[in-house]
Amino acid sequence: MSEEYGSDFLTITDDEGNSYELEHLDTFEHGEDLYMVFLPADLDEKDEDYGLIILKVVEENGEEILTTVDDEAELEKVYNVYMQLLFEAEEEQARAAEGEILPLEQDE
């Protein structure tokens, strides 16, 4: 997971010309694919579509673009991977706050 601080905002435009401002939360790899996680900047918790937006980074004509994850199984899988990464990061922060010494990461 990325270790960047502060908020990054991105405006994206869909195929119909609608613009959306998103807050970039994280970027992570799963398998050989790269995904970016966002929240809508105009977040309304009462909206039924409230929640994380996960977009896939793909290369098209030599340029990286963001695309929706249309396959429900893939979306569920990467959502679960992201939630696990988030849980592990929070767990590490909690241990660090308690003064617990964290093991060194080893390259595999």
Where are the alpha helices (H) located in 34-101, listed in sequence order? 72-97
pLDDT tens digits, one per residue of 30-59: 999 999 999 988 877 777 767 899 999 999
Domain assignment present for 102:
no
Domain assignment present for 2:
no
| Domain range enclosing 38 | 8-97
Report the pLDDT value the prediction gives residue 1, as an integer from 0 to 100.
Answer: 42
Domain assignment present for 28:
yes
**Regions of the chain with pLDDT less than 50:** 1-5
Report the pLDDT value the prediction gives residue 49, as an integer from 0 to 100.
Answer: 67
Domain assignment present for 72:
yes
**Stated pTM of the model:** 0.74
Domain assignment present for 105:
no
Domain assignment present for 41:
yes
User: In the numeric block, which tokens belong to residue 59?
Assistant: 């290369």
In angstroms, the CA 65 to CA 5 distance is 23
Q: Computed over its alpha carbons, how large is the radius of gyration of the chain?
A: 16
Report the pLDDT value the prediction gives residue 101, as an integer from 0 to 100.
Answer: 57
Report the pLDDT value the prediction gives residue 93, as an integer from 0 to 100.
Answer: 82
Q: How many domains does the chain have?
A: 1
Domain assignment present for 107:
no
Report the pLDDT value the prediction gives residue 29, as an integer from 0 to 100.
Answer: 95
